[in-house]
Amino acid sequence: MSIVGGISGSGHSSTSLSFARWKVLEFDHQVFLLCLAFYCVLGSTFFWILIQYLRLRRRSTAEEARILALPLPADSGLPNILVQLPTFNEGTLIRRAAKAAANLDWPRQLLHVQVLDDSTDGSVVHSERAVADLRDQGIDALLLHRPNRDGFKAGALAGGLLHSDAPYVAILDVDYLPKPDFLRDCMRALLDDPRLALAQARCDYLNGDENLVTGVQQRILDAHFAVEQAARSWSGQIVPFNGTCGIWRRAAIDEAGGWQGDTLAEDMDLSYRVQLRGWRTLFLASVTVPGELPNTFQNWRRQQFRWTKGSAEVTRKILAAVWRSPLTLNQKVVSTLHLGGGLFGFVFGLTFVTGAIDIAWGTGLTGFALALILILAAEVIVGPGLLQLVGQKCARGAAILPELRRLPLVTVLRLAVGLANLGGAIEALFGRGTPFVGTPKEGGTSDPVTAASLSSHVARPES
């Protein structure tokens, strides 16, 4: 009896272990499928953006033209504007940015400029000279050099606001050179709509044709700024601030709690908090401000790491608030998909692990899993590719055939940079902080007048 009982007990234990193993592997398979489905849903947003852009482009460009033709009050009736120029270890670039600020078409007595310099490499001497030059031209200019970098760029911007009561605040990174009519173009919209929190121009590029790296970035970013941002704005969705080339209504910043330095994407963070409180924003696709692109792969990857991690940090901070907000269901869903991009790194890691276990010990690639993978591959390649082609055609008037030839290389480098920065998203979701690391710029186009002329000739969207 003891022998029989032992054998029976051993068989029961083996069966239990097999059942437990099967349940674990089945759970792993379901998680693997859920991850693939998550990616497929995210990938579908490329096509949603394209449809919205093509559907709304004619009507929205006409409306934008109407806004830009609105009359402004006489100079005596215009408001004070604060122009903030944040900088960190960017050398002589601040001199060029200050010249561009001095060329802005706004009454001198109503124009106030702050150079917010957190530099640690001696660049502050150039900021001192830039502020002196502005004052020599009759412009109220102030240099704020902090002894620490608390809150990084957000901390610098917030610190500057303590020294001004101007009702409107323009933010320009020092590698961006606005045309003289930048303020007037954006202010037409803000003065026309009292619930408009932000009017922002489209980022353009001074050095898109410098080399292979800048050319690839230009095409990727044109898809984002010229197509995606425009489509979000035109369709009434939440539109993130680009971090530069925009004018904020000070009341909206204050109501939303001001600039906060707990993420590396302070621009995206503030724009979400403001719009969750009922304020609106406007993206002006035909108003362009040229800036510089990183001209090496290493610097580009570093910039993208910061953007990837910052976006994931904002997702972690804001996503629950989106669903508690009075946004419409449509806006909540679209915003969730937008913020869902911040989960990319974490879900990629989970997909890799669960997929490897499934293939090695589980059911392997089932027909359903393979179908999801094929759908995802098509979305990742075709979706961004279409946005890039439309961006080049509509923003720059480029011929489609040459752009098609460039598309494979752009796709490969885009995916390479994205995969290289997955760690940033994973770090953010687990709450691991890192310092704000600026992207080195060289100031290749030193004359702001020339730069403004370039932006007015190369980046007007097709009507």
Which of these is catalytic: 117, 204, 222, 267? 267
Nearest to 149 by CA among 114, 113, 117: 117
**Ramachandran bin of 236, using left for φ above 0, alpha for ψ from -120 to 50, beta for the remaining angles:** left
Long-range contacts of 60-66 (CB under 8 A, 24+ apart): 60/230, 60/233, 60/234, 60/285, 61/285, 61/286, 61/461, 61/463, 62/463, 64/284, 64/285, 64/286, 65/286
Q: Which residue has the tokens 């830039």?
A: 130
Burial call 124-152: b when 16+ CB within 10 Å, e when fewer = bebbeebbeebeeeebbbbbbeeeebebb
- Catalytic, 140? Answer no
Query: What is the rounded CA–CA span in Å between residue 353 and residue 346?
Result: 11
Which of these is catalytic: 28, 118, 204, 269? 118
| C-alpha separations of 148 from 87, 120, 137, 181, 267 in Å | 13, 9, 30, 35, 20
- Catalytic, 254? Answer no
Long-range contacts of 453-460 (CB under 8 A, 24+ apart): 454/204, 454/206, 454/290, 455/177, 455/179, 455/204, 455/288, 455/289, 455/290, 456/179, 456/288, 458/204, 458/396, 459/202, 459/204, 459/226, 459/288, 459/290, 459/395, 459/396, 460/286, 460/288, 460/395
Please list the active-site residues: 118, 267
